[in-house]
């Protein structure tokens, strides 16, 4: 196991340790924005694997994305930006393909505690024991404990990979901040009621935001099962909404609501909205988005 300067740093180190020039890394779409760029920084080639209407990778699509150059596959559950959570059965099915292919897995589980409706979190390294020796599991304290600025993440995996990650880190940052490590340890080993209270609050906000968006003409908003984002389809609004970057820039200027363009996550026609803010702020944001979307529809 290794402690790093955030889960983002853990993923970067894992990719640097595993990926050689020309290696391919399969990344399901939508993906967290840093995955493809981190692969490119290691000299690798990101292979983007499409997902279906439920925004989940299937064994069939995974098998098609694999090649003789595939070094690793990144799995993110719960997923940023979609909020999808893979079930135990879905991970088992993906695991069969991965075991057969003999590739590495980087499992980004930073949102593991932020899951709703009683659905459990499963790590592919636990679900498919044969994969444990070829999996690097990444986690951290930023999301579950609201400690984004403390920059503490950690990774677990086979000794040879963790050792390589440590050698790279020793030349980059030496070590994570000692004070931040002490704070992270206190969060992980202390009372966890605050986490469950936060999950309950997020769940209330999630249901509110999804309900509001689903009632807006031209917007299709699936209900996320985890994390704290919604990822609605907005291309049905027409006009500028077909370009997510243009739409988000316009929304920020016109109605003063900050959203993230779906194109950054590999899916045009969608935007990411966070419901980590308080309910009062979300109510104002939804009112403003509703008005902004109305103007977009009218402009055509």
Do 44 and 74 share a domain, yes or no? yes
DSSP structure class, residue 3 = E
pLDDT in tens, 237-248: 999 999 999 999
Do 179 and 199 share a domain, yes or no? no
Kindly report whether the global pTM for this prediction surpasses the value 0.85.
Answer: yes
Cα 288 to the center of its chain, rounded Å: 26
Q: Give the pLDDT band of residue 199 (cuts 50, 70, 90).
A: very high
Do 163 and 218 share a domain, yes or no? no
Do 164 and 129 share a domain, yes or no? yes
Alpha carbon separation from 216 to 95, 245, 266, 274 (Å, rounded): 39, 20, 24, 17
Mean pLDDT value across the chain: 98
The CATH number linked to 93 is 3.40.640.10
Q: What is the mean pLDDT of residues 204-211?
A: 99
Task: Judge whether residue 37 has pLDDT over 80.
Answer: yes
Q: Give the pLDDT band of residue 300 (cuts 50, 70, 90).
A: confident
Do 181 and 202 share a domain, yes or no? no
Do 185 and 197 share a domain, yes or no? no
Which structural domain range is residue 133 located in?
2-189
SS3 of residue 1 by DSSP:
coil
Do 152 and 290 share a domain, yes or no? no
| DSSP code per residue over 196-243 | HHHHHHHHHHHHHHHHHHHTSTT-B-PPPSBTTEE--B-GGG-GGGGS
What are residue 155's DSSP bridge partners?
Answer: 2, 138
Number of folded domains that form the chain: 2
Do 163 and 206 share a domain, yes or no? no
Backbone dihedral angles phi then psi of residue 267, each to the nearest 5 degrees? -135, 105
The CATH number linked to 291 is 3.90.1150.10
């Amino acid at each position: 196991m290794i402690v790093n300067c955030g889960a983002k740093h853990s993923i970067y180190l894992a990719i640097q340790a595993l990926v050689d020039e020309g290696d391919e890394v399969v990344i399901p779409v939508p993906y967290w924005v840093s995955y493809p760029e981190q692969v490119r920084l290691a000299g690798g080639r990101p292979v983007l694997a499409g997902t279906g209407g439920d925004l989940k990778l299937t064994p069939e699509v995974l098998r098609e994305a694999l090649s003789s150059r595939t070094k690793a596959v990144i799995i993110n559950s719960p997923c940023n930006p979609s909020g999808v959570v893979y079930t135990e059965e879905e991970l088992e099915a993906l695991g069969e393909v991965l075991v057969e292919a003999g590739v590495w897995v980087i499992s980004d589980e930073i949102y593991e505690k932020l899951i709703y409706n009683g659905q459990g979190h499963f790590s592919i390294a636990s679900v498919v024991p044969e994969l444990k020796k070829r999996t690097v599991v990444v986690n951290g304290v930023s999301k579950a404990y609201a400690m984004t600025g403390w920059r503490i993440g950690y990774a677990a995996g086979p000794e040879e990979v963790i050792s390589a990650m440590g050698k790279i880190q020793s030349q980059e940052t030496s070590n994570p901040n000692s004070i931040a490590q002490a704070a992270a340890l206190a969060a992980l080993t202390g009372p966890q009621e605050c986490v469950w209270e936060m999950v309950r609050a997020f769940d209330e906000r999630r249901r509110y935001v999804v309900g509001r968006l689903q009632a807006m003409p031209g917007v299709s908003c699936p209900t996320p099962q985890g994390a704290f984002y919604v990822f609605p389809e907005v291309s049905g609004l027409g006009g500028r909404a077909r370009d997510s970057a243009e739409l988000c820039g316009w929304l920020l200027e016109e109605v003063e609501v900050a959203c993230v363009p779906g194109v950054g996550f590999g899916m045009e026609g969608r935007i990411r909205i966070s419901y980590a803010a308080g309910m009062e702020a979300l109510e104002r944001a939804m009112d403003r988005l509703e008005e902004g979307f109305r103007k977009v529809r009218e402009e055509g």
